[in-house]
Chains A and B, each alone.
Chain A
Amino acid sequence: MNTESIDFQAFIEWDNNPFILFSAQGKILYLNNAAEILFGYVSKKELYDIALSYAPQSFGYKTTSLALNYDSFIFHAITIGYENEEQISLRLYNTPRIKPTRKIETDKLIVTDINILLEANIALFRTKNTNPLQLLTDQDLPPFKLNQNNFSKLLRKTFDTFRASDSIDISLKLLVGQHVIIENKKEAIVQLAIHANGRYADTDDVIRTLASESQIKCILNEHAIKLEIPLIQ
């Protein structure tokens, strides 16, 4: 089959896996849509360094399996390739998201003002800790359906990881333009983000489990926990 006349650029452009073409000097010659979003979370230099470190010894393509984690982006492998001395390409493979095995029973959820649960958990946190806390919240968030008990447990566990942290910043906001599909319905997403100078990671597994039970995406890193909560109506 003659493929010479086919322009493959659009296929790469709209590939969900990030693709970047660097020059020999580390400049970006081309990047696709997915890579453009990725650069919001990782520096050009970091990815270029990865490309050089995992490049094949001579011309050609080499795929290496490794775990990379940038905020909510998780990759399980990369392919580095070059056919001349001028250009080197990097392709990152998204780790497929595991579909929750547990179905969320939306009829059992109770319409809740998330700000109340958040405030109550802050009060609980303050019975045990005196760390300074800053809260920036959106009081206009509409009430939405939640498993109140489960979500409270998740909040308690999340806050507990900051028990020895200074300058804890809590923010609650609607992620404009982002949605998640639950039970075939498109739902908006509220993000609860807690940042501090550091945190304990001893209960991260429990946090992940509790979050997944409520269809909440959690992003855990060294200094922060972000919970992306579906605003189920």
Chain B
Amino acid sequence: METFFTTSDKIQHIIKSFNLTKTLYISSIIIGEAHTGKKSLARYLFPNVLLVSGFDQQEVENALEKHDELIITDFEKLNNHSSLDFTNKRIIATANYMGNPALIDELFAFIYSMPSLQERPGDVTYLKDLYLKEARSTLMIEDNTFESDEIHLNLSKNSKSLKKSIFLHLVKHSMDDKDIKRVLYHYLLKNLDGNDGYREHLALYEIPLIEAGLKKFSSQLQLSRVLGINRNTLRKKIHEHRID
């Protein structure tokens, strides 16, 4: 059984409207950015309804002939709309963008717009915890020491980029020196070139070293002692790598 969690008022209204019209023969469409949960919402509200994708025009047309109720995802990908007859059918469509507004207006009785994750801070927190759990289990990480607040949450592609940023964060934080060496090995194998390779790629080591050191020890003097290098050498490196 699918579940759908949201704290967004807007989505609560969408759910309410769908619940009221569940038994009616009307056509509805949910329009919103990719990976905002449109398909999950449709699945959650209509778990037993056949789902077809707009990528396959023929499949949609065949399904329309045989079924009274249908979920059509990626509606914007359908290229021939004239053959669609929604009369007395229960249609739930999802689309990443409006496409032709006049056509959408003509075909659908209920037109919902799905808010992006940026507009749903409560949902981001929920998804973050969910993905963290999933990432921990998938990557088999039991370590609980890292701060989840430190994760840079990328919402540019909604749940997809959010999930990716959490997985990457966990991967990065669970690496030991062997893993880091392997990562560097693959990176260098791909990128090593030219005639100044040593100096060019030294930054891979020096920048994180100095940045982390400055964060941890706050003064350059102290850091130079910890690193066992001259303070002037450190200053030169900081300048060279443009570390502020």
Is A116 touching B26 in the complex (CB atoms < 8 A)?
no
List 8 tightest A-B contacts by C-beta distance, closest first.
A152-B109, A123-B17, A120-B20, A127-B13, A123-B16, A120-B17, A120-B21, A153-B109
- The distance in angstroms between the C-alpha atoms of A152 and B91, with both chains bound, is 13
Interface size on A, residues (CB 8 A): 19
Return chain B residues, CB-CB under 8 Å to A117: 20-21, 24
Return chain B residues, CB-CB under 8 Å to A119: 20
- The distance in angstroms between the C-alpha atoms of A120 and B27, with both chains bound, is 13
Extra inter-chain contacts (20) besides given A127-B17, A152-B21, A152-B24, CB under 8 Å: A108-B87, A110-B25, A112-B24, A116-B20, A116-B24, A120-B21, A120-B110, A126-B13, A127-B10, A127-B14, A127-B112, A127-B113, A128-B113, A148-B25, A149-B25, A149-B26, A149-B87, A149-B109, A156-B109, A156-B110
- The distance in angstroms between the C-alpha atoms of A198 and B27, with both chains bound, is 30
> Shortest beta-carbon distance, A129 to chain B, in Å?
10
- The distance in angstroms between the C-alpha atoms of A153 and B20, with both chains bound, is 16
Interface of B is mostly: mixed
| Chain B 102-115 interface 0/1 with A at a Cβ cutoff of 8 Å (1 = within) | 00000011111100
| Chain A 185-205 interface 0/1 with B at a Cβ cutoff of 8 Å (1 = within) | 000000000000000000000
Is B6 part of the contact surface with A, judged by Cβ < 8 Å?
A: no
- The distance in angstroms between the C-alpha atoms of A219 and B174, with both chains bound, is 68
One of B20, B86, B112 near A149 (C-beta < 8 A) = B86
Is A175 part of the contact surface with B, judged by Cβ < 8 Å?
A: no
Return chain B residues, CB-CB under 8 Å to A37: none
- Counting chain A CB atoms within 10 Å of each CB, the highest count among B24, B86, B87 belongs to B24
Residues of A39-66 contacting chain B, CB below 8 A: none
Is A124 part of the contact surface with B, judged by Cβ < 8 Å?
A: yes
- The distance in angstroms between the C-alpha atoms of A127 and B15, with both chains bound, is 10
Is B112 touching A124 in the complex (CB atoms < 8 A)?
yes
Interface size on B, residues (CB 8 A): 20
Kindly report which residue of chain A lies nearest to residue B8, judged by CB atoms: A127
15 inter-chain pairs at a CB distance below 8 angstroms, sorted by A residue, are: A108-B87, A108-B88, A120-B24, A121-B17, A123-B16, A124-B14, A124-B17, A126-B13, A127-B17, A127-B112, A148-B109, A149-B88, A152-B109, A152-B110, A153-B108
Is B110 touching A110 in the complex (CB atoms < 8 A)?
no
Return chain A residues, CB-CB under 8 Å to B20: 116-117, 119-120, 123
- The distance in angstroms between the C-alpha atoms of A123 and B88, with both chains bound, is 22
Is A148 touching B10 in the complex (CB atoms < 8 A)?
no
